[in-house]
Amino acid sequence: MSSLDQDRHDPRRDEPGFGVRPQPVDEPETLFDGGESPSAPAVVAAEAAEFEPAETTTEMAEEQRERSWPEREADEPTPQRVEDEDSADEQPEDRDTGAEEPLGPTGRPFPQLPEPAPPAAGPKHAQIIAMCNQKGGVGKTTTTINLGAALAETGRRVLLVDFDPQGSLSVGLGVNPHTLETSVYNLLMDRGTDIDEVIDETVVEGMDILPSNIDLSAAELQLVSEVAREQILARVLDRVRDRYDVILIDCAPSLGLLTINALTASDGVIMPLECEFFALRGIALLTDTISKVQERLNPRLQVTGILGTMYDARTLHSREVLERVVQAFGDTVFHTVIRRTVKFPETTVAGEPITTYASSSPGAEAYRTLAREVLTRCHAK
């Protein structure tokens, strides 16, 4: 053996049993039933099992449905969500809970509304209704256009007032706000403006519009120094009140001076309310503002109703929000509910109401029903 081999020689090689694999030694069973050391995923699963709720997600969801929807029958299947958003219109309007009368989407029996009688002959005195909610995107403009068109179908003469600087009402009826020479702004700031030069006809027979554009945004500041600044719109509408049966005002999404003007000029107010949680938060502030206007400026102002909009019966959230609104406001809530549908954005592009764009659609029928409710509540003739 060379000196190099001697340096590499390991003395342990000469010991007995060198190179033989040791046999496994039995260990006492401690943590696991099988007595074998588990893999890492098994450890994670075992630890997670300690925090897993006793009920499955499906069971918890079903329990929540039963709590928030007590009138649902125990054996009633949960409606499956469909992919087509517009197919929500095809669902039944009423819920049958085993009672003698089927319930509408608000959880109340839907009343039998009479067909509107033709307007009475003779001098007119328009019923003025403000469409008001300080939250944007709840359906104020859509409701103003389509409710006005539905009222016009009953033979009423209707005037729509675009009182929002965004001019959405004007655009929704095919008016280009950028080409307007005169608008509502001129009527507010210049008493010499002829209102007949501002009123435009719409595609709907019997329905006119007072259009608006971005100029109206300056009126909020300029009216501050005016005497009786809250009553300027009322003076403007008094000029044409004897020409129309109904005047609908599309308010801006705020509670500023423009909205106060609209409430001061009105006999009633409709509050469109999106069936979403955040839409509920501003109702208390809005009702407080209405109360102050009643006390200080316009004693005849009444809440015509609260209108549920963008309702989707397929979602538990929409049903719960609508149920909570009915619990809080009772019969102030309209029986009619405006369901979510893709038809409404299409009508905006077309520049016409849904009653002419899709006359037989569920959305058009809903606004016709709403028109009958409004006429019944306002006792309009």
Report the C-alpha gap between 9 and 266 in whole angstroms: 108
- Whether 373 contacts 336, CB under 8 Å: yes
What is the mean pLDDT of the segment spanning 30-39?
42
d(CA 24, CA 8): 31
Q: In 3-state terms, the chain is what percent helix, strand and coil (to 5)?
A: 45, 15, 45
Percent of the chain with pLDDT over 90: 57
Is the pLDDT at 91 greater than 70, yes or no?
no
Distance CA 344, CA 144 (A): 12
- Mean pLDDT for the stretch of residues 343-356: 92
The one-character DSSP state at 339 is E
Indicate whether 185 pLDDT > 70. Answer: yes
Q: Report yes or no: 303 and 269 within 8 Å, Cβ to Cβ.
A: yes
- Among residues 278, 276, 280, 274, which one has the least CA distance to residue 317? 276
| pLDDT above 70 for 378 | yes
Indicate whether 67 pLDDT > 80.
no
Confidence of residue 11 (pLDDT cuts 50, 70, 90): low
CB atoms within 10 A of CB 47: 9
Residue 167 pLDDT greater than 80, yes or no: yes
Per-residue pLDDT tens for 244-274? Answer: 999 999 999 999 999 999 999 999 999 999 9
Handedness of CA 323, 329, 334, 335 (dihedral sign): positive
Count other Cβ atoms within 10 Å, centred on residue 57: 8
Rounded average pLDDT over 52-70: 41
* pLDDT of 5 above 80: no
- Whether the pLDDT of residue 64 is over 50: the answer is no
> What mean pLDDT is reported for the chain?
80
What ranges do the domains of the chain cover?
127-378
Domain 127-378 fold is Rossmann fold (3.40.50)
The Cβ-side half-sphere exposure at 301, using a 13 Å CA radius, reads: 25
